[in-house]
Amino acid sequence: MTAATARAATAGGTGTAVDEPCRPGCPGKLPGDEPVALARAAAEAIRGLNHATRGPAGLGQPSAAYDVLGALSMAAARTGQALAQITRYLDAAQTAGRLGHDRGQDPSLAVDAAAIFLSDAQLSAAALAGDLDAAQQQLALLNSHPRTETP
């Protein structure tokens, strides 16, 4: 998915530069535009999934629930990599002296604290992926044909 596709998927966003098309005189894409747009598109996709699975007709059959759980497990498993990459970026930017703090404080304190939470989030994402996979496996033998008892 390109940044343009992700932007289109998040139409009606927050009104930040990532959501708005570049106007004449605009310097163009900023570093980080594409990851931000993709993350927003992922959040919008989950919101859409929440709406699509709301009622009893949303899933319609056990195989749909099985497939949704598999896709969510994969998404959770892939989230850990993005979190690790964000941590690496912050560490490298801090080491290179490319970070400041709005209140004039040492940015390394915020980077170190964020790294702790991001590490915890990686573990949580891995646990979520495992739990979703386990739930999916429980549905593997389900179907939409209830067994009828014969007298």
pLDDT one-digit tens code per residue, 43-99: 999 999 999 999 878 999 999 999 999 999 999 999 999 999 999 999 999 999 999
Q: Is 73 found in the same domain as 43? A: no
Reported pTM = 0.76
**How many separate domains does the chain show?**
2
Q: What is the mean pLDDT of residues 12-32?
A: 56
Q: What pLDDT score does 5 carry?
A: 44
Residues 21 and 73 in one domain: no
Q: Do 35 and 68 belong together in one domain?
A: no
The first and second tokens of residue 35, run together, are 């990851």
> Which tokens belong to 47?
């919101």
Per-residue model confidence (pLDDT) at position 6: 44
The mean pLDDT value for 129-151 works out to: 93
Tokens of 29: 């894409």
Higher pLDDT pick, 79 / 30: 79
Q: In the prediction, which pLDDT does 33 show? A: 93
Mean pLDDT of 24-47: 86
44 and 84 within one domain = no
Q: Are residues 126 and 103 in the same domain?
A: yes
Distance of alpha carbon 73 from alpha carbon 145, whole angstroms = 26
Question: What pLDDT score was predicted for residue 70?
Answer: 98
Q: Which domain holds residue 44?
A: 1-52
Residue 7 has pLDDT above 70, yes or no: no
Say how many CA atoms lie within 13 Å of 126 toward its Cβ.
10
Report the range of poorest mean pLDDT among 27-36, 57-66, 83-92, 116-125. Answer: 27-36
Same domain, 46 and 63: no
CA-closest candidate to residue 42, choices 72, 70, 12, 17: 72
Q: What is the pLDDT of residue 56?
A: 75
Residue among 33, 1, 130 at smallest CA distance from 122: 130
- Quick one: 106 and 44 in the same domain? no
Q: Does residue 80 sit within a domain? A: yes
